[in-house]
Amino acid sequence: MTDMQSQGDVSFVRQEVLKAAPPPMRVHGVWPWMRANLFGSIGDTILTLVGAAVALAIIVPALQWAVFNATWLGQTRDTCAANTAGACWAFVEANFGQFIYGRYPDPERWRVNVFFVLLALTIVPLAIPSAPFKRFNLLAALVIFPLVSAFLLLGGVLGLPAVETAVWGGLFLTLVVSYVGMAMSLPLGIILALGRRSKMPIVQWVCIFFIEVCRGVPLITVLFMAGILLPLFLPTGVNFDKLLRALLGLSLFAAAYMAEVIRGGLQAIPKGQYEGAKSLGLGYWTMMRLIILPQAITIVIPGIVNTFIGLFKDTSLVYIIGLFELLGTVRNSFANPDWATPETPATGLFFAAIVFWIFCFGMSQYSQYTERRLNTERKR
């Protein structure tokens, strides 16, 4: 201070009060939000207008078709045939039972409902990380539930009338095929992944050959193989159930993709984990079961769920073998002259798309949730 005073009159004292500065721009509320997110600049405004035009051009006709102009009620095709401007939901209502159960006999459909409930009871606790008894739950999902369901759905025991697989169909068959595909492809994929990383050259070659061939060809050709070539490969007279053939083809195909996902997880485990396990004196299988696989599989849960989504979508191809899952049943009902109208195919496909979408979107949200959870766990 003394220093400043000694330098003379450089000091400055404000005499009048400054005018208040304008308040800062509001950052909360509708208008500021729109300014930041929609009309930030001229280019942004043009983009917004173009986007709004595109969205309206799609949403308005789609809503008119699917909701406002749609035929909601009706017992016959006449109501739909008269209305060509909107969806024919009456067709979906009339065939709803078939879309869910296929040609499963009416009085036995409660068995399918029990199957749906059991499926939910097995899957939901398995998907919730904090649910207890994970080990038992996994056992139930891989062994108990499939066995119980097989007896329940096929029948022929305990006074349940037998229902052959040829009449299975609809969403129910989609779930059966995808569930078995998932339950088979996971263990098979683990074995293939371990084989591919094995130090034994022949085991490695066999696994690489299988994985790369399956991944290199379309699923349709694999299903053609399962449908047409498998009977040729087996002794004369041995005849496989169609469903079993589809399950075999689909599971092996999905296992190849699963193997690559799990291999990614195995590669992400640091070498120290292997060495640590070995130095404890664990053998190969004990080491894999207790140390490596639990870590590797946890890392790649999102990838596994993504493979499951792919598998779920791929079930729509089993029509190649002559099975009618959801999409097959819907397509089959287009040929029904009772409901043949110009809007029937679009409505049926829209319905099938929504059902598939709900399942796949649910799985993908779960996969993203797991990814976030694992990331926070590893961030520490």
User: Which residues contact another protein (rule: CB under 8 A)?
Assistant: 37-38, 40, 44, 47-48, 51-52, 54-55, 199-203, 206, 213, 215-221, 224-225, 228-229, 231-236, 309, 313-314, 316-317, 319-320, 327, 331, 334, 342-343, 345-346, 349-350, 352-353, 356-357, 360-361, 364
CA 174/CA 158 separation, integer angstroms: 26
Q: Which is nearer to another protein, 178 or 251 (CB)?
A: 178
* Minimum CB–partner distance for residue 238 and another protein (Å): 9
Q: Which is nearer to another protein, 13 or 232 (CB)?
A: 232
* Minimum CB–partner distance for residue 343 and another protein (Å): 8
Q: How many other C-beta atoms can be found within 10 angstroms of the C-beta atom of residue 242?
A: 17
- Contact at 8 Å (CB) between 104 and 169? yes
| Phi, psi values for residue 131, rounded to 5° | -65, 140
- Please name which of 156, 145, 62, 148 lies closest in space to residue 108, comparing C-alpha atoms: 156
* Minimum CB–partner distance for residue 147 and another protein (Å): 27
Q: Which is nearer to another protein, 121 or 217 (CB)?
A: 217
Both structure tokens of 199? 């130090």
- Please name which of 276, 290, 297 lies closest in space to residue 374, comparing C-alpha atoms: 297
* Minimum CB–partner distance for residue 347 and another protein (Å): 8
Q: Which is nearer to another protein, 52 or 268 (CB)?
A: 52
* Minimum CB–partner distance for residue 143 and another protein (Å): 25
- Please name which of 226, 121, 242 lies closest in space to residue 173, comparing C-alpha atoms: 242
* Minimum CB–partner distance for residue 263 and another protein (Å): 15
- Contact at 8 Å (CB) between 229 and 154? no
Q: Which is nearer to another protein, 153 or 207 (CB)?
A: 207
Q: Which is nearer to another protein, 133 or 285 (CB)?
A: 285
CA 210, 216, 221, 223 torsion: positive or negative? positive
Half-sphere exposure of 208 (CA within 13 A, CB side): 10
* Minimum CB–partner distance for residue 156 and another protein (Å): 29
Q: Which is nearer to another protein, 91 or 356 (CB)?
A: 356
Q: What is the DSSP string of 267-309?
A: HHS-HHHHHHHHHTT--HHHHIIIIIHHHHHHHTHHHHHHHHH
